Amino acid sequence: MNRVELFLGEGWDVMPAGGATGEAYVAKHGDYQLFIKRNSSPFLAVLSAEGIVPKLLWTKRLESGDVITAQRWIQGRELKAKEMMNASTAAMLSNIHRSNELLDLFKRMGNEPLDPRHMVENMYVQIQLYRIEDELVLACMDYLERTKDQLGDAEYAVCHGDINHNNWMRDEQDNLYLIDWDGASVADPALDLGLMLYTYIPEEHWATWLAQYGAELDHSLKMRMHWYVVAHTISEILWNHSRGQFSQVEELKKALMYVASKNDHSD
C-alpha cells in the first residue's frame, strides 16, 4: 500500500494513472472516483477556478511534506489530432495567455520569464556535456544564436509548454480542458502557438486559426514561432539523449529537419 492509499484510508482502490512522473493516480471508492496527484502544479487552484482544468476538490499536505491534490474525475476523452484545428482550442489558449491572474501568481512564485539568450546558453552547455556533434543540431543552434536578438520584446504569458492533443480533454458535458501543467513557464506566447501550428494546423489555415485566437500572422510572430519550435525540439533531443532514449532522439531529429526547412523568413 503506497502513501496515497494510507492517506485516503480503507475502502479506496488507488491505481497509477500513467504519465511521465508516476505521481498521478485514480482513486475509486465504490462508484465514486477522484483524480489524485502528488506534488502537482502549485497554481492548480487558479487553473481550476478559471475552468482550464477539472475542478479542484481539496488539497492536503502529508507528514512527508508531499502535497496531495484531488480533482473531479471526468468521464472524458482526449482530443483527436484533427480536432486541434477547432475554434475552441484557439479560444482556450487565448484565455490562458491573457489571464493576468495566472501570470501574476506564477511570477509571485518566483518564476522568471524564459530568456532566449539563457535558453541558448543552457543548450550549448548540454551539447558540450553530452558531446553532441550532430551537424543538424549544431546548424540549428547556430541559427538560434544568430537570431535570438531579433525576436523583439514580447508580452510574456503563462505558457503550457506541451500542447500535445493528449493533454486536451472534453468531458461528458462537452467542456474543454487543458491538463498536465507541470512544465508550464512564463514565456513568449509564440512558444505555445508555434508548437500548436507546426504540429496540428496546415500552414494555409494558420492565419484563420490565429484570428480565432486573437492574433495576426505577421512577420514577427512567424519568426518567433519558428525560433521557439526549433529551440523546443532541440531541448527535447537533449532531454532524450540524457536518458539514453536514442530512438526518440532520431525521431526528433527528423522533426527538427522538417522545422528547419520551414525557415522562409530572413535571418
- Tally of residues, the chain: 267
* Residue/partner pairs of 210-218 with CB below 8 Å, 24 or more apart: 210/90, 212/87, 212/90, 212/91, 212/94, 213/90, 213/91, 213/93, 213/94, 214/94, 214/98
The DSSP call for residue 165 is G
State the SS3 of 207-265: HHHHHHHCCCCCHHHHHHHHHHHHHHHHHHHHHHHHCCCHHHHHHHHHHHHHHHHCCCC
- Number of neighbours of residue 203 by Cβ within 10 angstroms: 11
- Number of neighbours of residue 101 by Cβ within 10 angstroms: 12
Please state, in angstroms and rounded to a whole number, the distance separating the CA atoms of residues 134 and 144.
16
Q: Output the CA–CA distances (angstroms, integers) from residue 231 to 88, 108, 152, in the order listed.
A: 27, 26, 16
Active site residue 162: yes
Cell numbers found for residue 249 = 532522439
Please state, in angstroms and rounded to a whole number, the distance separating the CA atoms of residues 94 and 82.
19
Catalytic residue (choose from 66, 134, 162, 182): 162
* DSSP bridge pairs for 60: 68
In terms of Cβ atoms closer than 10 Å to its own Cβ (0-12, 13-18, 19+), residue 60 is exposed
Enumerate the active-site residues.
162
